[in-house]
């Protein structure tokens, strides 16, 4: 649970390269980075989007007809949740006393999902959520998530929420976390993609969310070495699409960078979060409190987990006969599902 007396949190955004040849190799890099961060007193670390085993960069530069082998290889290497990979990360989080936010390609039988995991400092897996809508080329790789994981969770460092990449352009998804009073928002992007325009847009996006939510944002992007870029595609014209787009950064509730963003190479962006800045910002503008107008504008969220099977429900006529529904109320309406209040 959150420590309500905590005044400051040391956070880190990790910008590192995956191991494109081994899922265990990437996991080893995660574990080593946690240990390195612990030596610097880090209490919360955020890793890039689908970092384990690696982001599907191939899907951005290959046409669908050529993706089969790479897609199958990613499925073979993708971890199940829970599983050996999550056990190893949980142990590292517990040993370091660190909250860990990790992006993975989650394999669920014959499907892959863009999944965000939040481990508390005692190693407990507090949250597993799936990206609601994969973006553009990603739809050839991942399935769609649902709102069951669209939740801010209490951790040792505070109330934490997370979104992946262009989910930040879904204002209702962001508002769902804002309404749960997230204190630290963990953002994850792939990095080494699209070019400088991607990094520029990212900076605007995370700073705006910090201001609007009145929270800290810790954003992590991945990194590809020049050798890895060439391994993904030998086409020099396409290699440019796998460079740039890195912007690992930490932003305050006032929209200010707390450390210089990392845009090239590997490293940790580390900053101390003064939690008193949350109240300072929200005193003036609390978008889910005194600045909201719920009688005019509100958000409904369907939190049920998506499922391919549902229990058989009785026909509407049977419900009408068995239920004391008013005579002027349609039986189908009595049987209709309702969104949570």
131 is catalytic: yes
215 is catalytic: no
Which member of 43, 49, 182, 183 is catalytic? Answer: 49
Bridge partners, 10 (sequence order): 272
165 is catalytic: yes
Which member of 43, 106, 131, 212 is catalytic? Answer: 131
SS (H, E, C) the chain: CCCCCCCEEEEEEEECCCCCCCHHHHHHHHHHHHHHHHHCCCCEEECCCCCECCCCCHHHHCCHHHCHHHHHHHHHHCCCCCCHHHHHHHHHHHHHCCEEEEEEEEEECCEEEEEEEEECCCCCEEEEEECCCCCHHHHHCCCCCCHHHCCCEEECCEEEEEEEHHHHHCHHHHHHHHCCCCCEEEEEECCCCCCHHHHHHHHHHHHHHHHHHCCEEEEEECCCCHHHHHHHCCCHHHHHHHCCCCCEEEECCCCCECCCCECCCCEEEEEEEECHHHHHHHHHCCCCCCCCCCCCCCCCCCCCCCCCCCCCCCCHHHHHHHCCCCCCCCHHHHCCCCCCC
Which member of 43, 106, 138, 165 is catalytic? Answer: 165
User: What's the Rg (C-alpha) of the chain?
Assistant: 21
CA–CA separation, 48 and 223 (whole Å): 9
Q: Give the list of residues 6+ apart from residue 167 with CB closer than 8 angstroms, or none.
A: 131, 132, 133, 173, 174
Bridge partners, 191 (sequence order): none
Catalytic residue positions, numbered: 49, 131, 165
């Amino acid at each position: 649970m959150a420590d309500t007396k905590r005044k400051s949190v040391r956070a880190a955004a990790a910008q590192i390269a995956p191991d494109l040849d081994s899922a265990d190799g990437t996991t080893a890099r995660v574990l080593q980075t946690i240990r390195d961060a612990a030596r610097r007193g880090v209490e919360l670390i955020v890793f890039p989007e689908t970092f384990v085993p690696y982001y599907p960069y191939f899907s951005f530069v290959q046409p669908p007809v050529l993706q089969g082998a790479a897609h199958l290889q990613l499925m073979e290497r993708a971890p199940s949740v829970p599983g050996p990979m999550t056990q190893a990360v949980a142990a590292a989080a517990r040993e370091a006393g660190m909250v860990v936010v990790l992006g993975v390609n989650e394999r669920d039988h014959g499907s892959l999902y863009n999944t965000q995991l939040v481990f508390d400092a005692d190693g407990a897996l507090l949250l597993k959520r799936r990206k609601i809508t994969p973006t553009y080329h990603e739809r050839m790789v991942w399935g769609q998530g649902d709102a069951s994981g669209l939740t801010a969770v209490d951790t040792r460092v505070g109330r934490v929420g997370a979104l992946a990449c262009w989910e930040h352009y879904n204002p209702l998804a962001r508002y769902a976390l804002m309404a749960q009073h997230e204190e630290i928002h963990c953002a994850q992007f792939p990095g080494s993609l699209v070019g400088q325009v991607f990094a520029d847009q990212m900076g605007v996006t995370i700073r705006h969310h910090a201001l609007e939510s009145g929270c800290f944002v810790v954003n992590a992007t991945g990194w590809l070495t020049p050798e890895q870029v060439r391994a993904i595609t030998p086409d020099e014209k396409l290699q440019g699409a796998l460079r740039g787009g890195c912007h690992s950064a930490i932003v305050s509730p006032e929209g200010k960078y707390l450390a210089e963003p990392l845009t090239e190479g590997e490293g940790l962006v580390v900053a101390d979060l003064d939690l008193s800045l949350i109240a300072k910002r929200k005193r003036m503008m609390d978008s889910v409190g005194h600045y909201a107008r719920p009688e005019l504008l509100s958000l409904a969220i369907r939190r049920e987990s998506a499922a391919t099977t549902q229990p058989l429900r009785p026909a509407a006529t049977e419900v009408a006969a068995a239920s004391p529904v008013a005579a002027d109320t349609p039986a189908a309406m009595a049987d209709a599902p309702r969104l949570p209040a």
